[in-house]
């Protein structure tokens, strides 16, 4: 039997798409407030939003005669025709959010327009007649007991803390989207975020710092560029501020936060040569373009968009960001050679070596700077090894001959030429050493002469505090120094020379990603791998031949030394026959 579903059920079904958790309620309400021209947003939350999400704004308000309609399905003031949809400037347009939310919660809507003498209130789900209620001009939507009537959905809710985390992220995104609007967030009557509207450059950077941390603000480049009807502005993190996860990536298209594959790809490509594989850039970017060029109606919660001319958008993003990074690279003074001015934190700038063939090219190029009768590989190496050891007893990785461009060690073994990626090899060794130390009951801590204070977000600092004991077993001596900072007093001994600031930030990101529930072992290994990366030899450091030989011997002793912690090979070998072929010898 076919029958028409009651409207309450239809709305509940729609809610399944739009209202996933308290954070999605908050997102819809904030969007409505911004669409109404609000200058101030006040968000009150109880129990992670499961008991209450209340958003109050000072926007245009809803006339009493339309209040009930606002709760009706497919009722919207934002579009009237298909043409409107194609040029939509508002964040909402589907007319679905309020009825959907009202169908799975106890919703109360109070609003007052500028001309009204007092406010009017209605309660969901069905639209009864509005009753007078005190309210300043603007609107308050109060959503209580989310999913009280849909137990199946309720079961999917996580802890209060997790739900609040999602909701807070939504509020922070909104605050990033609109610097000109004041934002306040309270949880269980406690103030969590208080951001006055930011209009001057100083106020703007203060807000950026509050939302993304001082470290980002200190390590970000402002960019602003427009061409062909597209404009991109915002901040991109320097390559040295890369992260072990993509948690500091915010992209807004015409004021709407989106996660989009095309955008992510363009940004990643722009960073490709300066960021090592597995590292993520940090950015907050705003793309503005004519609404007709982007379809926002492809996702019920509008997390995704579709660009009419995606190729152009992709290239525009890629070029603009790439150029900004390159310009930063030449401006900034750096310790190394100019070519490495923008060297990534972990890998040295050596894009061509990433592929196997890159290594081969590098080995071929080695010969170019040695014109004339100088030491060609064969000749020079021969004498070297003759005095070092007879071939039969040569260790597997041989003996070092030289260092190439501060990146590779060249060595000769019984079979031919060995090329070692210095940084990757050292990283592997450090990792295994740390792991052994931890297995034997804890890596010793090496106190720092001068403790280092590290700025984190409040949530990150909380996490560090919660994991303090586990971190202490790894050799991190830490203490909370303030709501958003942690003091590092000691580092694991094998990492004593690492940059405490960068190391801690990455370790915290690892912890955050794995959450407390994950297996301890996994978490520890991840942290160790990250830590090892910081403790290893930077590219560009000159090593004496004795130091290089010591590294080779250590590699031979170390488990899994053939691969670094990211799975890249640490060394490769070119046999004499392969070298001969390069010279077409014996053919």
Residue 587's contacts (CB-CB under 8 Å, 6 or more residues apart) are: 581
Among residues 95 and 492, whose Cβ is nearest to ligand ADP? 95
- 493 contact choice in Mg ion, ligand ADP, none (CB below 5 to 8 Å, kind-dependent): none
32 binds Mg ion (CB under 5 A): yes
Q: How far is the CB of 49 from ligand ADP (least distance, A)?
A: 17
Q: How far is the CB of 62 from ligand ADP (least distance, A)?
A: 5
Residue nearest to Mg ion (CB): 92
- 539 contact choice in ligand ADP, Mg ion, none (CB below 5 to 8 Å, kind-dependent): none
- 39 contact choice in Mg ion, ligand ADP, none (CB below 5 to 8 Å, kind-dependent): none
Give me the residues that bind ligand ADP (CB under 6 A), please.
Answer: 28, 32-33, 36, 57, 59-62, 70, 75-78, 92-98, 139
Q: How far is the CB of 312 from Mg ion (least distance, A)?
A: 30
Q: How far is the CB of 52 from ligand ADP (least distance, A)?
A: 17
With tokens 């209060």, the residue in question is 160
In order of 446, 470, 534, the CA distances from 495 in angstroms are: 8, 17, 7
> Cα–Cα distance between 497 and 344 in angstroms, integer?
17
- 77 contact choice in ligand ADP, Mg ion, none (CB below 5 to 8 Å, kind-dependent): ligand ADP
List the Cα angle 464/467/470 in 5-degree steps: 130
HEC secondary structure over 126-173: CCCCCEEECCCCEEEEEEECCCCCCHHHHHCCCCHHHHHHHHHHHHHH
- 70 contact choice in Mg ion, ligand ADP, none (CB below 5 to 8 Å, kind-dependent): ligand ADP
> Cα–Cα distance between 478 and 425 in angstroms, integer?
29
Among residues 95 and 398, whose Cβ is nearest to ligand ADP? 95
- 549 contact choice in Mg ion, ligand ADP, none (CB below 5 to 8 Å, kind-dependent): none
The neighbour count for residue 270, using CB atoms within 10 Å, is 23
Residue 517's contacts (CB-CB under 8 Å, 6 or more residues apart) are: none
Q: Are 413 and 388 in contact (CB under 8 A)?
A: no
Residue nearest to ligand ADP (CB): 92
- 139 contact choice in ligand ADP, Mg ion, none (CB below 5 to 8 Å, kind-dependent): ligand ADP
Among residues 92 and 213, whose Cβ is nearest to Mg ion? 92
Backbone φ/ψ region at 429: left (φ over 0), alpha (ψ -120 to 50), beta: alpha
Among residues 97 and 502, whose Cβ is nearest to Mg ion? 97
Among residues 135 and 243, whose Cβ is nearest to ligand ADP? 135
Give the pair of three-digit tokens for residue 148. 């009280």
Among residues 74 and 521, whose Cβ is nearest to Mg ion? 74
Segment interacting with Mg ion, rule: CB under 5 A, options 89-97, 104-112, 209-217, 566-574: 89-97
430 binds Mg ion (CB under 5 A): no
Q: How far is the CB of 78 from Mg ion (least distance, A)?
A: 8
Among residues 30 and 248, whose Cβ is nearest to ligand ADP? 30
Q: How far is the CB of 29 from Mg ion (least distance, A)?
A: 8
How are beta strands 294-295 and 306-307 bridged, if at all? antiparallel
92 binds Mg ion (CB under 5 A): yes
Q: How far is the CB of 524 from ligand ADP (least distance, A)?
A: 46
In order of 72, 404, 421, 552, the CA distances from 125 in angstroms are: 9, 72, 65, 72
- 490 contact choice in Mg ion, ligand ADP, none (CB below 5 to 8 Å, kind-dependent): none
- DSSP letter at 42? E
> Cα–Cα distance between 476 and 461 in angstroms, integer?
14
Q: How far is the CB of 157 from ligand ADP (least distance, A)?
A: 22
The neighbour count for residue 468, using CB atoms within 10 Å, is 15
97 binds Mg ion (CB under 5 A): yes
Q: Are 536 and 433 in contact (CB under 8 A)?
A: no
Among residues 41 and 397, whose Cβ is nearest to ligand ADP? 41
Site string for Mg ion, 44-83 (x = CB under 5 A): ----------------------------------------
Alpha helices (runs of H) in 219-366, residue ranges in sequence order: 261-271, 310-331, 356-365
The neighbour count for residue 323, using CB atoms within 10 Å, is 13
Q: How far is the CB of 138 from ligand ADP (least distance, A)?
A: 7
Q: How far is the CB of 70 from Mg ion (least distance, A)?
A: 9
Of the candidates 357, 371, 338, the one whose C-alpha atom is nearest the C-alpha of residue 540 is 338
> Cα–Cα distance between 283 and 264 in angstroms, integer?
11
- 46 contact choice in ligand ADP, Mg ion, none (CB below 5 to 8 Å, kind-dependent): none
**CA distance from start to end of the chain:** 82
Q: Which residues of the shown chain bind Mg ion in the complex (CB under 5 A)?
A: 32, 92, 97
């Amino acid at each position: 039997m076919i029958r028409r579903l009651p409207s309450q059920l239809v709305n509940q079904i729609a809610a399944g798409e739009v209202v996933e958790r308290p954070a999605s309620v908050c997102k819809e309400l904030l969007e409505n407030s911004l669409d109404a021209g609000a200058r101030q947003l006040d968000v009150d939350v109880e129990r992670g939003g499961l008991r209450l999400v209340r958003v109050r704004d000072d926007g245009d308000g809803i006339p009493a005669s339309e209040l009930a309609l606002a709760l009706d399905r497919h009722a919207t003031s934002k579009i009237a025709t298909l043409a409107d949809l194609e040029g939509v400037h508002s964040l909402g347009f589907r007319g679905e959010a309020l009825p959907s939310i009202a169908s799975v919660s106890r919703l109360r809507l109070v609003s007052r327009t500028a001309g009204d003498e007092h406010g009017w209130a209605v309660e969901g789900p069905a639209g009864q007649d509005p009753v007078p209620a005190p309210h300043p001009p603007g609107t308050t939507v109060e959503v209580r007991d989310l999913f009280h009537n849909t137990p199946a959905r309720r079961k999917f809710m996580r802890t209060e803390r997790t739900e609040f985390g999602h909701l807070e992220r939504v509020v922070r995104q909104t605050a990033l989207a609109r610097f000109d609007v004041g934002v306040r967030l309270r949880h269980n009557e406690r103030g969590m975020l208080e951001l006055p509207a930011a209009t001057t450059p100083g106020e703007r950077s203060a807000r950026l710092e509050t939302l993304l941390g001082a470290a980002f603000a200190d390590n970000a480049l402002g960019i602003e560029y427009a061409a062909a009807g597209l404009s991109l502005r915002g901040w991109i993190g320097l390559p040295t501020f890369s992260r072990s996860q993509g948690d500091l990536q915010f992209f807004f298209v015409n004021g709407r936060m989106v996660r989009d594959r095309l955008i992510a790809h363009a940004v990643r490509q722009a960073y490709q040569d300066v960021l090592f594989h597995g590292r993520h850039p940090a950015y907050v970017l705003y793309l503005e373009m004519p609404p007709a060029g982007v379809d926002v109606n492809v996702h019920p919660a509008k997390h995704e968009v579709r660009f009419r001319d995606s190729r152009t958008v992709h290239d525009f993003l890629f070029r603009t960001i790439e150029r900004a990074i390159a310009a930063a690279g030449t401006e900034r003074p750096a310790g190394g050679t100019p070519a490495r001015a923008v060297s990534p934190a972990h890998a040295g700038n050596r894009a061509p070596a990433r592929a196997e063939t890159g290594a081969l090219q590098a080995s071929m190029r080695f010969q170019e700077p040695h014109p004339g009768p100088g030491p060609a590989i064969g000749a020079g190496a021969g004498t070297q090894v003759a005095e070092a050891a007879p071939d039969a007893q040569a260790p597997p990785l041989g003996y070092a001959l030289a260092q190439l461009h501060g990146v590779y060690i060249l060595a000769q073994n019984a079979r031919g030429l060995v090329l070692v990626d210095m940084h990757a090899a050292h990283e592997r060794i450090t990792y295994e050493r740390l792991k052994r130390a931890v297995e034997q009951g804890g890596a010793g801590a090496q106190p720092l002469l001068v403790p280092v204070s590290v700025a984190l977000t409040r949530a990150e600092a909380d996490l560090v505090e919660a994991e303090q004991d586990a971190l202490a077993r790894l050799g991190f001596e830490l203490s909370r120094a303030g709501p958003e900072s942690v003091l590092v007093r000691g580092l694991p001994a094998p990492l004593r020379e690492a940059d405490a600031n960068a190391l801690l930030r990455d370790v915290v990101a690892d912890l955050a990603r794995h959450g407390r529930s994950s297996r301890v072992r996994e978490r520890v290994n991840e942290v160790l791998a990250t830590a090892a990366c910081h403790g290893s030899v930077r590219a560009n450091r000159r090593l004496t031949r004795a130091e290089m030989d010591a590294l080779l011997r250590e590699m031979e002793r170390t488990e899994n030394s053939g691969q670094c912690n990211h799975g890249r090979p640490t060394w490769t070998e070119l046999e004499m026959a392969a070298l001969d072929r390069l010279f077409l010898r014996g053919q």
